[in-house]
Structure 1
Amino acid sequence: MSKLRCHISISLDGFVAGPNQSEENPLGEGGERLHDWVFPLEAFRRAHGGQGGEVNESTPVVEESRENIGAAVMGRNMFGPVRGGAWGDEQWTGWWGDNPPYHYPVFIVTHYPRDRVEMEGGTTFHFVTDGIESALGQAKKAAGGKDVMLWGGGQVARQYLAAGLLDELELHVVPVLLGGGSRLLDNLGEADVRLEQVRAIEAPGVTHLKYRILPGAPS
């Protein structure tokens, strides 16, 4: 059965992006530091068309995160641009240039309708205005039995977690204190979120904590 999986880097004080997001700092001030552990990896560089790089304890984690993915869901804040709003001239196609690294359908949760955008390399962005459940349903259909990756950001990941729609969560915990920005695990309301730890892997500059989401208590 197709699962919804989320892999996300997080600071020790609980932020998945820093404060004051801008086009110069799409991950907020200091947010790029959350990904310092992955940028040097050979597995990361290969996936983005590069060569060389390191192989360490994080390598199998990154390789596993890319296995069996047929589609993805993403929040509007992650897709951009900063401050969102109506699409205007519809020239914005994300932060990743003409050939985004996804290479499968990506469903953007947004309040503003827009025609789908087909990019190089097989990435197609679809814009879903009728909620997170609809976005997930469309992504699972497009995935054709494979899993769906929830790429973030923090707000939409928190919504899926609170709604009981997320199956796996892997936190890449980085020894960084951002002091502000976008939190992942705040304001879950009365959601009965229960986690089972699957594994913990220590690696250079990061600790990988993988959890399975368990069914909540009966109401």
Structure 2
Amino acid sequence: MGKVRVAGFAVSIDGFGAGPDQGLEHPLGKGGRELHNWFYPTKAFRSMIGQDGGTDDRFARAAMAGFGAYILGRNMFGPAGDNWGGPDWKGWWGDNPPYHAPTFILTHHPRAPIVMEGGTTFHFVTDGIDAALAQAKAAAGDRDVKIGGGVATVRQYLLAGAIDELHLVQSPIVLGRGEALFAGIDLPGLGYRVTEVVPTELATHIVLTR
């Protein structure tokens, strides 16, 4: 049985995992795109968008490899609202999303599964985080399940004690407002401890293990 992991999840110095005012123009909230400045130059990111080159970053590689299934919050698939961004909306990533595995979307709005190019199928789960995790584990088999975000989704799985390993990327920016990742969460009380800290030029990588 694989692990349940959060990997490559970027947070600002003041603890926000997304900026304010998320929407079509700002999927990660205002200023949220800058959280991922560490990721954009890497081979992992460039190959994800069909480009060559880039830096060989082991954290970026680990954030994209070894997963047999993904769980995403509703806004990680599309803009908030009942219309899913319109009748033809199939996610932020176009026809070939970067997941290449079964991907389970937490939502209150039922929708039939969507089969995409490259091995990604989006499944829409309306009966909660436990159901989504059970389905993801069954789909992943011996591989890991990635809790891909957003902030509210990571918080729910943290509070449920379901995450085995949490790799955070602390980016050197301040957002001031947005979605706070750890507000009101007692990580030591939940059994998490810091097991690795690696500073780099563009960010500091922090791994917490339960």
- Report the TM-score when normalising by structure 2: 0.93
Whether 2:113 is the aligned partner of 1:116: answer yes
Question: Partner residue of 2:195?
Answer: 198
Question: Partner residue of 1:44?
Answer: 45
Where does 1:176-187 land on structure 2 (aligned, <5 Å)?
176-187=173-184
Question: Partner residue of 1:135?
Answer: 132
Question: Partner residue of 2:55?
Answer: 54
Where does 1:77-156 land on structure 2 (aligned, <5 Å)?
77-81=75-79, 83-85=80-82, 87=84, 90-156=87-153
Q: Which piece of structure 1 moves more, 130-139 or 186-195? A: 186-195
- Report the TM-score when normalising by structure 1: 0.90
Question: Partner residue of 2:70?
Answer: 72
How far residue 90 of structure 1 moved from its aligned partner, in angstroms, is: 3.9
Q: Which consecutive segments of 4 or more residues in structure 1 shift more than 6 A?
A: none
How far residue 88 of structure 1 moved from its aligned partner, in angstroms, is: 8.4
Q: Equivalents in 1 of 2:195, 2:77: separation in Å?
A: 30
The alignment of Structure 1 onto Structure 2 pairs a total of residues equal to 209
How far residue 22 of structure 1 moved from its aligned partner, in angstroms, is: 1.9
1:46 match: secondary structure? helix
Identity of aligned residues (%): 48
How far residue 192 of structure 1 moved from its aligned partner, in angstroms, is: 3.6
From 60, 63, 68, the equivalent of 2:61 is 63
Q: 1:32 to 1:137 in 2, by over 3 A?
A: same
Q: Equivalents in 2 of 1:103, 1:114: separation in Å?
A: 20
Alignment root-mean-square deviation, CA: 1.9
How far residue 93 of structure 1 moved from its aligned partner, in angstroms, is: 1.2
Question: Partner residue of 2:2?
Answer: 2
Question: 5+ unaligned residues in a row in structure 2: which ranges?
Answer: none
Question: Any conservation in 2 of the 1:17–1:28 contact (CA below 8 Å)?
Answer: yes
1:48-94 CA-to-partner distances (Å, cap 9, x unmatched) read: 32101234xxx01111223321000000122121x233548642211
2:149 match: secondary structure? coil
Q: 1:47 to 1:87 in 2, by over 3 A?
A: closer
How far residue 144 of structure 1 moved from its aligned partner, in angstroms, is: 1.7
